[in-house]
Amino acid sequence: MYKNQTILTHMSFKGGSSKTTLNLNFVMEFCKIYKDKKVLFIDSDPQSNSSIFLLGEEVINSDIYTLKDGLSENIPLEKLIMKSPLSNFKNLDLIPSNINMVTLELILNTKAGKEYTLLNYLTNDKNINVLSNYDLIVFDLNPAISVLNTNCMICCTDIIPIINYGCYSTITGYNLLKNTYQDIKKALRIEKDDLKKPIITKFEKKENNKIKMWLEYAENKNILKNTIKQTMRKSVHYENAVLYNEPISTYLENRNIKSDIIDEIKLIIDEYIKENIITI
């Protein structure tokens, strides 16, 4: 929305694709590396997994502002934002989610121009100056074709699809995302090049007949030649780092864990900068 401001999400229409894990590890590592950059993480998933990871399970029934309050009650954006809720990341702010977000989809469907509700809200006179303070904004979405997700994706400068290594359904989901979002933009007369190359998650250094068949299938679909080069490997350490609210590099270093994944998220960030997805 502002020059050099990045608004992105990692997206998949398949649950369990490591979408939330990647979003959180990405944001935490970015905040560690670029302490002078202001980051806003927006949990727009009614399941609230990101908010639970960051704030604890009590957030589900807590009396907090969420995106629903902004879009249904026009509560100012500044009131929705939790300032530096994690002591490890002074440059990270959060708009959390909780159980109340479940009804937002129904509310959006009652509004005229429903697909633009979030964009209009973020860019109104009260909120645009608040939003302009952030260099990077990351949405965490639920794995669905919905009006809420459409609202968020319209606001994004960059959407990075997720493909799980060895998983056929995430390739199907990737094609569904491409075709559906293209149809949505065509119907709404939106012209922007925001759908980027997919990233492969849950990568494993193994080859068996199942993986060989998947690689052949992905090759025939012209997937592998046009992905983010750096992969995110399958590792329990990524989930653990999120649970401890630590960047993956810090989590591994503090526990003297030797692992090849220590620089993966940093390398993903570096590639996004090289690809002009993020401007530093």
CA–CA gap between residue 159 and residue 149 (Å, rounded): 11
For residue 217 the two structure tokens come to 């299938």
CA–CA gap between residue 110 and residue 94 (Å, rounded): 27
Residue 1: what pLDDT? 65
Q: Give a yes or no: residue 280 inside a domain.
A: no
Q: How confident is the model at residue 280 (pLDDT cuts 50, 70, 90)?
A: confident
Residue 161: what pLDDT? 96
Residue 58: what pLDDT? 84
209: Cβ–Cβ under 8 A, 6 or more apart, which residues? none
pLDDT digits (tens, 9 = 90+) for 105-158: 999 999 999 999 999 999 999 899 999 999 999 999 999 889 999 999 999 999
pLDDT digits (tens, 9 = 90+) for 209-234: 999 999 999 999 888 889 999 999 99
Range of the domain at 92: 6-274
Q: Is residue 237 scored above 90 in pLDDT?
A: yes
Q: How confident is the model at residue 81 (pLDDT cuts 50, 70, 90)?
A: very high
CA–CA gap between residue 53 and residue 47 (Å, rounded): 12
Q: Give a yes or no: residue 149 inside a domain.
A: yes
Q: Give a yes or no: residue 270 inside a domain.
A: yes
Short-list 166, 37, 181, 13, CA closest to 26: 37
CA–CA gap between residue 20 and residue 242 (Å, rounded): 10
- Give the three-class secondary structure for 104: helix
For residue 220 the two structure tokens come to 């025939």
Q: Give a yes or no: residue 190 inside a domain.
A: yes
Q: Is residue 61 scored above 80 in pLDDT?
A: no
Short-list 3, 30, 19, CA closest to 250: 30
CA–CA gap between residue 81 and residue 51 (Å, rounded): 13
Q: Give a yes or no: residue 106 inside a domain.
A: yes
Residue 150: what pLDDT? 97
Q: Is residue 60 scored above 80 in pLDDT?
A: no
Q: Give a yes or no: residue 279 inside a domain.
A: no
**Looking at the 3D structure of the chain, how many domains does it have?**
1
Residue 102's domain is classified under what CATH number? 3.40.50.300
**Of 62-66, 119-123, 237-241, minimum mean pLDDT range:** 62-66
Q: Give a yes or no: residue 135 inside a domain.
A: yes
Estimate to the nearest angstrom the gap between the alpha carbon of 51 and the chain centroid: 13
User: pTM of this prediction?
Assistant: 0.95
b/e sequence 193-210, b meaning 16+ C-beta within 10 Å: ebbbebbbbbbeeeeeee
pLDDT digits (tens, 9 = 90+) for 22-31: 999 999 999 9
For residue 140 the two structure tokens come to 């965490």
Q: Give a yes or no: residue 114 inside a domain.
A: yes
Residue 200: what pLDDT? 96
Average of per-residue pLDDT across 76-91: 96
Q: How confident is the model at residue 15 (pLDDT cuts 50, 70, 90)?
A: confident
